[in-house]
Amino acid sequence: PQMTAQIGNFTFKHLFLNASGVYCRTKQNLDDLLDNQATGGIVTKSATLRSRKGNPNPRYHSILNGAGSINSMGLPNYGLQYYLDYLLSKSFDKPTILSVAGTSFDENIELLKQIQDSDYQGMTELNLSCPNVVGKPQIAYDFETTNKILTEVFKFFKKPIGVKLPPYFDLNHFDQIAKILNQFPLDHVNSINSVGNGLWIDIETESVVIKPKKGFGGIGGKMVLPTGLANVRALRERLKPSIKMIGTGGITSGKDVFAYLLCGADLVSVGTQLGIESPKIFNRLESELAAIMVEKGYTSVNEFRGKLKSLE
């Protein structure tokens, strides 16, 4: 069956991306993702202007035998130039998404100015939802600041760009963020980032499991699937059609991918489970999705994308 997607001028021959942060901090990671047949495209680790070591270890922990993860990485990355160098070093046969996450208003603007002034012609994603930089709130929970940043960005940024959002939990918040995003020529919205500031506890040691922020960190993995589905569904119902959606959060099977597509996702990205299985996971997810489609008699994802049914 046909399992492809289109975002602006970019054609994705496969539906699967890595979630930013997972398997994408080094050039070698990114090459390994690209070497895999069912990879639809690659997303780089969110970059800051300068390289960062991130938070102290331990800063990542698997929860309940892989059913979830908690992280407080703290934006470890090699700096914008490293990722730009990589993306400009060769030609890619799959679309690329350059993720950036400034730790201040001005840094976000400067990151995007440098991308605008570079020769990079791929997609960009502004991460408005990092939960783990000490003392910095998740920007997209502050609607006024989000509106201000995007207003400033689109004064000069003319390349394809989308945003990565945190999960929302109130229908009024979906209305508010969608109203803001719809004012701008964004090419995509990627939902969700990790569920911020969760806590996991080791009963034997009576202690938290990660060091930064007294153990508080972003939750990912299977346990956030319902939240991810809800965010994609709620935003798809509210965003203008020209804004495509990348569904992220809790995918471990072809069924989960099918569910995101029903909610209206154009593409999906995989974080926690990619960390567990390596890029080969995309081949498994693609064959599981294909089997579901064949079983149901679908020949293209376009036949059911966004067509989630309500009861009555």
Residues that bind ligand RRO (CB under 6 A): 21, 46, 71-75, 101, 127, 129-132, 193-194, 218
- From CA 208, how far away is CA 200, in angstroms rounded? 6
* Smaller CB separation from ligand RRO, 101 or 281: 101
Question: Can you tell me whether residue 188 is helix, strand or coil?
Answer: strand
Cα dihedral value 269, 271, 274, 279, nearest 10: 50
263 is catalytic: no
* Smaller CB separation from ligand RRO, 95 or 212: 212
Q: Tell me whether the omega of the peptide bond preceding residue 95 falls within 30 degrees of 0, making it cis.
A: no
Q: How many helices (H) and strands (E) does the chain have?
A: 9, 16
Is 218 one of the annotated binding-site residues? no
Taking the complex as a whole, how short is the minimal distance between the CB of residue 140 and ligand RRO, in angstroms?
Answer: 11
Is 55 one of the annotated binding-site residues? no
**CA angle at residue 233 from 155 to 280, to 5 degrees?**
90
Taking the complex as a whole, how short is the minimal distance between the CB of residue 132 and ligand RRO, in angstroms?
Answer: 3
Taking the complex as a whole, how short is the minimal distance between the CB of residue 26 and ligand RRO, in angstroms?
Answer: 14
Catalytic residue (one of 7, 111, 126, 130): 130
* Smaller CB separation from ligand RRO, 137 or 185: 137
* Smaller CB separation from ligand RRO, 254 or 275: 275
- From CA 52, how far away is CA 42, in angstroms rounded? 21
Q: Which residues contact 114 (CB under 8 A, 6 or more apart)?
A: 49, 80, 84
Is 88 one of the annotated binding-site residues? no
Residue 136: is it exposed, middle or buried by C-beta count within 10 angstroms (0-12/13-18/19+)?
middle
Taking the complex as a whole, how short is the minimal distance between the CB of residue 225 and ligand RRO, in angstroms?
Answer: 16
Q: Where is the binding site for substrate, in residues?
A: 45, 71-75, 127, 193-194
Residues identified as active-site: 130
Q: Where is the binding site for FMN, in residues?
A: 20, 45-46, 127, 164, 192, 221, 249-250, 271-272
